[in-house]
Structure 1
Amino acid sequence: MASNSEEHVVTMNWQVNKDRIELMQRKISEPPRLLSKSAGRSGCCIFRAPQSFVDVNGRSYQPRIVSIGPYHRGKPHLEMIQEHKWRFLGTLLQRTEKIGLTLEDYFQTVQTLEMEARECYSEAINLESDEFVEILVLDGCFIIELFRKIGRVVPFEEDDPFISMSWIFPFLLRDFIRLENQIPFFILQRLFELTKMSGEQASLSRIALFFFNHALQRPEEILDKYENLAGKHLLDFLRSSFMTFIPPVTENPPKSPSHVIHSISKLRRAGIKLRPGQEDSFLAIKFRRGVIWMPAITVDDFMAAFLLNCVAYEQCHGECSKHMTTYATLLDYLVNTYKDVEYLSDCNIVENYFGTDSELATLINKLGKDVMFDIDECYLAQVFDEVNQYYNNNWHVTWAGFKYTYFNSPWSFISAMAAFVLLVLSIVQTIYTILAYY
């Protein structure tokens, strides 16, 4: 009787395990609910920021006043600008009605690109076709109409609150480059071409760069070089405009593995100096004869948001180059304390409008936190290798230490000169004594 009972228990346990196996098989066959089929493909380019980045940098990847795309649509704190999107769409329709375009034409144009647009998002967009296309039309027309107004292609209305409330504009600049706040660039391009009036000569790239140049303040001749620049979205587009002047990655990588470089304070003690470079992109860094040449960069709220979102984008996009990540990591290596930021400012490499030197040092250290890149394959691999070779040269370190000890201040220089004069006088006196003797 006992043996039958034990056999029954074993049978029941086996039945429970079988059910669990069947449940596990179903879960294996089910696609992930939060990821679209395009996640991991080269066409996927609009991501949610990784939680590890959010833990470090907070809401840097999320919009503050305007929602672009489906990720943050409908959030209460973004509703204020939503009304102005419809107003901008209305003024655009009034203007294009003269060339026979209707709202239906806008809708149909974007509808043909719907599936391609869905594949750009790393998460499945659980919206009906019409609702998703409406978001792309509304947000896309708002962006290009704002670009046209800021670029003086079309005039603002006299009572437009975007003019009277100037605080809005800096928030729009930053929200348009948030990683989670994007729509595909080809949607913007198609809507721009559809609504382009006769006599309108400026390209979408040109008016987009003019819009962002209110924050970046780059010379006009630089913007002229990007007449046909494109990107996967506005963040990638603006990021690409800094990579045109980057020297190509060396075909002959360093023979020895590259290693991280030391902080500014240690490099200075080894005789390595930092000087402002003359290139148009802050990414174009060089090393020659003991000097790291770094083009100047102005760090303010916009640039801070731009760098943070570029790094997050490069970390999420597997096939994207890691130029911004490499640059951010270099800054993180160089800067340990506010004194390092102070030195960069004194060298006219960093113009700090972000906050105190200590606050900027904290931002720089956050830029390089929890990021991954291959130091031997990055575009600065040769710079890292050359700096380390120079740093590890005993002669350079000895000579730099001598100069630091005896020529770092006027008083140390005077003391060294006095000691040298006494030494010379002693030698002369000894020579005359010997000569007199003989």
Structure 2
Amino acid sequence: MEMDQVVGPEERYRSRNSIFHAPAHNKYGRGSDFEPKLVSIGPYYHGRENLKTMEEVKPQCMSNLLKQHQTGASMPDDMHKICTQFMRFESYARVFYKEEFNHFSDFDFVRMLVLDSFFIIRIILSLSKTVQKSMPIIDRNIKEVRSDLLLLENQIPLFFIREVYDWLLLIPRTDSRAFPPFECVLKPFICIDMPWRINPGRMSSGAAHLLDLYWRCSSSPKINKQLSKFRRDCFQRDKPTEAVYNLPICTPKVIANATALHQVAGIKFEKSNFKLGDNECDSKLNSEGNYDGFDVIFSNGTMQMPCMTIDSSQTTLLLNLIAFENSVLPSMRTFSIYLKLMDELIDSEKDVELLQQSGVINNTLSSHEMAATFFNDIGNFCFIDYSDHFFFDLFRDVQKYYDSSWNRKWASLQQNYFSSPWAVISVFAGVTLLILAGLQTFYTIYPYYNPK
């Protein structure tokens, strides 16, 4: 495969320096969330003593895959011969890393990428149920290994993994079964335990690495297009700098929590028609245009939001996605912006309870308090530019609705007199008695002034 086919011209900037150490402010107090626990992928953690067990498994994975093909290759005898076939990608693969890693020779660098690629392919095939032969050490730890494979500092270029996979496809198998296309086997890897709904239109995009692919499949093209349109409109004005500068003045940087919005202004929360977190790929979504992602709609006092499933294993992944957005994609911070919105809406367990009752949150943690802590901790790492974040219109409209005296009076009336069925019955009974008393007074007085 030629280099022009690996990624398109619009993706080349993304490929440069796309694998790097997470920024210090993202790692502050949470450094362990960026370090692999079981397996090292790429050069950053290569050779770590606590990761050597899986390092010994990588040649086994390579041998396991080669035995399913008529290669005639044996490990480690033909390791040099196999790596030589991928040496032409060495200089291009180095471009993906922010550091140069001159202590790796060209061959050692490619050898590391080849072994890591075979290991990742073996994991991907296991999750997609494509391989039947079991490897106990992988099967026992596959969830933890997958978590390591989605760390920002634990990546190798995705195009290199694809090259190794395509090389395997060209070799006749020992049985009649052929491996599915690369995008098909990747889907289960992306979907498993996913708190968001996958965007299949991005599965074939030129992602730089696995974490980038996860971001692309989770992000909303609708948000990205509207954010780009907003930014373009700003620059088309006569004084774009002043226009952008003035936006935060009329746009609140924070909004009240969900409980206050509901009790004070009567704002309701509803689950959108689509759900994020059904843990399976939706084959009906075949194009980017049908995927709404993190889109939130506020209209007539009702905020429609996608349902997000949260569990204890997601903190590490979300922190790595936020660090990736902060460093590579500052203009497309869909994860950071959405999680910051959730942080604003959730201050306590009461907010979690309200949003769960509304279907906006599916909390699998042991308590609502833990869920509130989950969002508050994540929100501390979400740095957004309030001059152009996607929800600035939403913040403004919600604040305007919240400040309206009419909405507050109507919400107070609902809270005091229509908060429960018994309260409604009491109000109805009171109104009925008042009407009957009025009728009785009328019929008592009317004959006096209008005798027959």
- TM superposition score category, shorter chain reference: 0.7 to 0.9
Q: Does 1:386 align with 2:397?
A: yes
Give 1:429 deviation, angstroms.
4.9
Equivalent of residue 87 in structure 2, options 87, 106, 111: 111
Please list the CA deviations of residues 83-141 of structure 1 after superposition, one character each: whole Å capped at 9, or x if unmatched: 11110112233445538895345423443333333332234424222332222111111
Are the structure 2 counterparts of residues 123 and 433 from structure 1 closer, same or farther at C-alpha, using a change threshold of 3 Å?
farther
Question: 1:411-422 to 2 correspondence within 5 Å?
Answer: 411-422=422-433
Are the structure 2 counterparts of residues 77 and 436 from structure 1 closer, same or farther at C-alpha, using a change threshold of 3 Å?
farther
Q: Show structure 1 runs of 5+ residues with no match.
A: 1-39
Q: Does 1:238 align with 2:233?
A: no
Letter in 2 for 1:187: F
Equivalent of residue 55 in structure 1, options 5, 28, 41: 28
- Assess if the C-alpha contact under 8 Å between 1:62 and 1:180 holds in 2: yes
Are the structure 2 counterparts of residues 234 and 320 from structure 1 closer, same or farther at C-alpha, using a change threshold of 3 Å?
farther
How far, CA to CA, are the matches of 2:202 and 2:178 in structure 1? 18
How far, CA to CA, are the matches of 2:81 and 2:405 in structure 1? 71
How far, CA to CA, are the matches of 2:359 and 2:87 in structure 1? 50
Letter in 1 for 2:188: F
Are the structure 2 counterparts of residues 180 and 325 from structure 1 closer, same or farther at C-alpha, using a change threshold of 3 Å?
same
Q: Which has the larger radius of gyration?
A: 1
Please list the CA deviations of residues 375-397 of structure 1 after superposition, one character each: whole Å capped at 9, or x if unmatched: 34223333333322322332222
Structure 2 residue matching 1:107: 3-state secondary structure: helix
**Residue in 2 that maps onto 1:160:** 136
Give 1:425 deviation, angstroms.
4.4
How far, CA to CA, are the matches of 1:123 and 1:223 in structure 2? 32
**Residue in 1 that maps onto 2:294:** 283
**Residue in 2 that maps onto 1:372:** 383
Q: Does 1:120 align with 2:124?
A: no
Equivalent of residue 147 in structure 2, options 163, 167, 174: 174
**Residue in 1 that maps onto 2:310:** 299
Give the root-mean-square deviation of aligned CA atoms.
3.0
Please list the CA deviations of residues 163-190 of structure 1 after superposition, one character each: whole Å capped at 9, or x if unmatched: 3x3xx12201211111221111122122
Q: Show structure 2 runs of 5+ residues with no match.
A: 1-12, 235-242, 277-292
- Assess if the C-alpha contact under 8 Å between 2:40 and 2:46 holds in 1: yes
Question: 1:164-313 to 2 correspondence within 5 Å?
Answer: 165=140, 168-196=141-169, 197=171, 200=178, 202-216=180-194, 225=201, 228-244=204-220, 246-247=222-223, 248-249=225-226, 251=229, 257-259=250-252, 260-269=254-263, 270-279=265-274, 281=276, 282-313=293-324
- Identity among equivalent pairs (%): 28
Q: Does 1:65 align with 2:38?
A: yes
How far, CA to CA, are the matches of 1:213 and 1:437 in structure 2? 81
- Assess if the C-alpha contact under 8 Å between 1:107 and 1:133 holds in 2: yes
**Residue in 1 that maps onto 2:419:** 408
- Assess if the C-alpha contact under 8 Å between 2:203 and 2:217 holds in 1: no
Q: Greater shift after overlay, 308-317 or 426-435? A: 426-435
Are the structure 2 counterparts of residues 301 and 235 from structure 1 closer, same or farther at C-alpha, using a change threshold of 3 Å?
farther
Please list the CA deviations of residues 184-236 of structure 1 after superposition, one character each: whole Å capped at 9, or x if unmatched: 112212222122245635222221221233323988xx676555244111111
- Assess if the C-alpha contact under 8 Å between 2:270 and 2:358 holds in 1: yes
Equivalent residues, number: 393
Structure 2 residue matching 1:287: 3-state secondary structure: strand
- Assess if the C-alpha contact under 8 Å between 2:271 and 2:307 holds in 1: yes
Give 1:427 deviation, angstroms.
3.8
Are the structure 2 counterparts of residues 105 and 375 from structure 1 closer, same or farther at C-alpha, using a change threshold of 3 Å?
farther
